[in-house]
Amino acid sequence: MAALPLIVFDLDGTLVDTAPDLISALNFVLEREGLPAVPLASARKMIGAGARKLIERGLEAEGRFTSAEDVTRLTADFIDHYADHIADASRPFEGLEEALDDLAAGGHLLAVCTNKLEWLSKRLLDQLGLSGRFAAICGADTFGVSKPDPAILRQTVGRAGGEVSSTIMVGDSGTDVGVARRASVPVIGVSFGYTDVPIAELKPDRVIHHMRDLPSAVEDLSVPSKLRVSP
């Protein structure tokens, strides 16, 4: 990598602990359908593939399968409620802002590539005072594709003014490792996010357990001889 890498982040479970507000919105929808609320601890693993998939997983957890039309209706209700409560309890993971400061001071561009809708992502990051740190914030609706489709990562990189050949992905789940592998981009996995498979088992290039460790992991992966990228 001749240039300093662009660092592209997943959002939910990587930058921000959004589970409390996401599951609160999920439970709002479930309770309106006469279903019991899902516990936060177990529901955290349902997050990561967008609002519609979260609704489907929430219904399945209660043993209920419904029509695509009903899922669409419930997803719209979920988004309306979630948008009004998007940062009630969501907070950046410990050490995030210091890590972003270090990366920016070192000359790295930063971007967000998420399966959350773009406008919701921007609203969340705005309310947390984080939006200005990122050269691009792209969601599942930005380009019409979602992770792990590599097009969303490649186009996020382009919008941020970077190059795929000098990009590192940071995420918490299989969709993040998958999109990085498909785009031939090295990936750092965080162990504190939302996944039903431990991040180490997904074999990212590096695993970190706290955001304080991110700058050193980025520095390590910025040395070409240390990259291990699958085609």
Across the chain, which distance is largest between two alpha carbons, in Å?
Answer: 57
Helix (H) or strand (E) holding 150: helix 150-160
Non-local (6+) Cβ contacts of 8 within 8 A are: 110, 111, 112, 113, 153, 156, 157, 160, 167, 168, 169, 170, 185
Strands 167-171 and 6-9: parallel
Asked if 10 is an active-site residue, the reply is yes
Contact indicator for 82, 52 with CB cutoff of 8 Å: no
Indicate the residue type of 203.
K
Contact indicator for 27, 38 with CB cutoff of 8 Å: yes
Contact indicator for 92, 214 with CB cutoff of 8 Å: no
Going by C-alpha positions, the residue among 222, 7, 15, 216 that lies closest to residue 111 is: 7
Residue 157 tokens read as: 């990189």
Q: What phi and psi values does residue 189 have, to the nearest 5 degrees?
A: -100, 140
Indicate the residue type of 83.
A
Active site amino acids: 10
